Amino acid sequence: MKQVPSIYHRRVGDITVTAICDGYLDTSYGIFHGITPEEGDAHMRAAHLQSPPRISVNSYLVRHKGRTALIEAGAGHTMGATLGFLPAHLSAAGVRIDEIDTVLLTHMHPDHSNGLTDPDGNRVFPASELALAEAEMRHWLDDAAMAAAPERKKERYFRAARKQLDAYRDQLRPFTGTGEVFPGVTPVPIAGHTPGHTAYLVADGDQSLLIWGDTVHVPHIQIRFPHVTLDFDSDEAAAAAMRRHLLDMAATDEILVGGMHLDFPGFGHIGREGDGYRFFPAPWNPIL
């Protein structure tokens, strides 16, 4: 049996932000650094959550001033049967692929960018420009960085990213700095997880939302224990430091956050708890 399509709308001023679930990944405690499998299992079970963890994979649609942007392209059909639902859920949200002006990437890992192309390497979003941090693009095109990577990452990360960038070469818009990249959307550099990892601040009037990419992968562990890193981090120390910085900022400023691996629909607030933090999911609102 299937649930209803995984889409959820909310307002940020006059901007409509729609969370769209691409699916999920089941993972193991072997990907964690800084916590033992026994500690991770005890923490997840104490919260009555699946152990080993199940990770939600989300994208966010931003509609403002007659334009439409999509933050993250999903995994496509490259990572198993539990992912790749973004196109169907876009359709369920009433959004045609050719209506999307811009695809914004937080970074180029498979569950975020593989959905840019189909199995034949063709663009899934032929009418969209592709925008990402120049530092992120430069990293995946760096031959020395690729040569130093394990073979699995050469194929799944570097070669895959290069094929995607090549497919969009005529529509590519790398950016630097923090100038607006879409009406109401500005990039926030958060390097660590990848060299060009980027969050996006969606703001209108006195309302804002920080979509923080992969600041956390398993929120119930990494929000409470920010020092915990993963195999996927390019620079584990920098990723942990940036995570603590963003968690502290979100708690201090009481800013609404969204994340690609927060449990769907992926909106909430951060509070402090002991020497870590706690996530407070935003309540479901039936009225837009």
Task: Answer for the pair 233, 107: CB distance below 8 angstroms, yes or no.
Answer: no
Per-residue pLDDT, 96: 96
Average pLDDT of the residues in 228-235: 96
- Look up residue 278 and give its two tokens: 């706690």
CA pair distance 97, 82, nearest whole angstrom = 21
Q: Is 246 helix (H, G, I), strand (E, B) or coil?
A: helix
Write out pLDDT tens, residues 105-131: 999 999 999 999 999 999 999 999 999
Write out pLDDT tens, residues 172-196: 999 999 999 999 999 999 999 999 9
Task: Answer for the pair 81, 70: CB distance below 8 angstroms, yes or no.
Answer: no
- Band the pLDDT of 249: cuts 50, 70, 90: very high
User: 251 pLDDT exceeds 80?
Assistant: yes
Q: Is the peptide bond before 126 cis (omega within 30 degrees of 0)?
A: no
CA pair distance 17, 8, nearest whole angstrom = 8
Per-residue pLDDT, 14: 97
CA pair distance 178, 230, nearest whole angstrom = 27
Write out pLDDT tens, residues 82-110: 999 999 999 999 999 999 999 999 999 99
Strands (E), 90-240: 102-104, 129-133, 172-175, 185-189, 198-204, 207-211, 229-230
Per-residue pLDDT, 3: 87
Write out pLDDT tens, residues 20-58: 999 999 999 999 999 999 999 999 999 999 999 999 999
- How far apart are the two ends of the chain, measured CA to CA in Å? 28
Backbone angles phi, psi at 257, to 5 degrees: -120, 155
The residues facing 258 across adjacent strands are: 211, 267
Please name each of the domains of the chain with its CATH number. Answer: 7-280 (3.60.15.10)
257, amino acid identity = V
- Band the pLDDT of 2: cuts 50, 70, 90: confident
Torsion 22-28-31-34 (CA) sign: positive
Per-residue pLDDT, 288: 83
Question: How would you classify the pairing of strands 67-71 and 102-104?
Answer: parallel
Task: Answer for the pair 205, 13: CB distance below 8 angstroms, yes or no.
Answer: yes
CA pair distance 52, 77, nearest whole angstrom = 23
- Look up residue 240 and give its two tokens: 């942990």
- Look up residue 170 and give its two tokens: 């005529």
The pLDDT > 90 percentage for the chain reads 97
Per-residue pLDDT, 188: 98
CA pair distance 187, 36, nearest whole angstrom = 34
User: 270 pLDDT exceeds 90?
Assistant: yes
Average pLDDT of the residues in 254-276: 96
The label of the residue with tokens 């063709």 reads: 122
For residue 72, CA distances in Å to 42, 131, 158, 195 come to: 32, 10, 17, 17
